[in-house]
Amino acid sequence: MNEFLIFIIDLLKIALPAIIVAVAMYYLVKKHYERDHKIKLLELRQKNAEVVLPIRLQAYERIVLLLERITPSNLLLRVGASGQTAAEYHRVLLNEIRNEFNHNMSQQVYMTEQAWQQVKHAREDVVNLINKTYKELPENSRGTDLAKRILESVLATEQDPTSRALSYVKQEIRQVF
């Protein structure tokens, strides 16, 4: 039994330092790989930011342009009402808003959910304003009558239906950039 104990003690004298060195090496190598992994992740994020940042900026620019284009005063100037009935002009305005929105829908990928919700609410507010104003007109009204009443409604509220969304998007751009 004594010989066995002496053998175990001798074995531990040799193996214990080797085990300690092996464990220490394991942790050092692991720490090195973790640090290397973090550095590579940081480099990847930096390269990603170099590519994505300009795309995000372009997306915000397109959304600001969308909001400006569907702002009632700008929309009415761009889409003239001459020669159309109020019903025809109503359809043209709604179609223009729908097309503008659908054309820029993919930009939501680059925006926060809150900003995109603001954009959607602005579009809905403009559509609701146009619909409400159209419904209040006499049956045989002209497109120019609809345009005039829409502008009067905007002036009465003293705020464009897109102004809140525009402010929010611009504020978000300042935070991101």
What pLDDT digit, counting tens, does each position of 121-140 carry?
999 999 999 999 999 999 99
Handedness of CA 30, 34, 39, 44 (dihedral sign): positive
* pLDDT higher than 90, residue 61: yes
Radius of gyration of the chain (CA): 33
User: 164 Cβ partners below 8 Å, 6+ apart?
Assistant: 118, 121, 122
- The pLDDT of 34-59, averaged and rounded, is 86
Q: What pLDDT band is residue 86 in, cutting at 50, 70 and 90?
A: very high
Distance of alpha carbon 42 from the chain centroid: 23
* pLDDT higher than 80, residue 58: yes
- The pLDDT of 47-76, averaged and rounded, is 91
* pLDDT higher than 80, residue 177: no
Output 12 or 56, whichever has higher pLDDT: 56
Q: What is the pTM of this model?
A: 0.75
pLDDT recorded at residue 13: 79
Round to whole Å and give the CA distance between 157 and 160: 8
Do the beta carbons of residue 154 and residue 72 sit within 8 Å?
yes
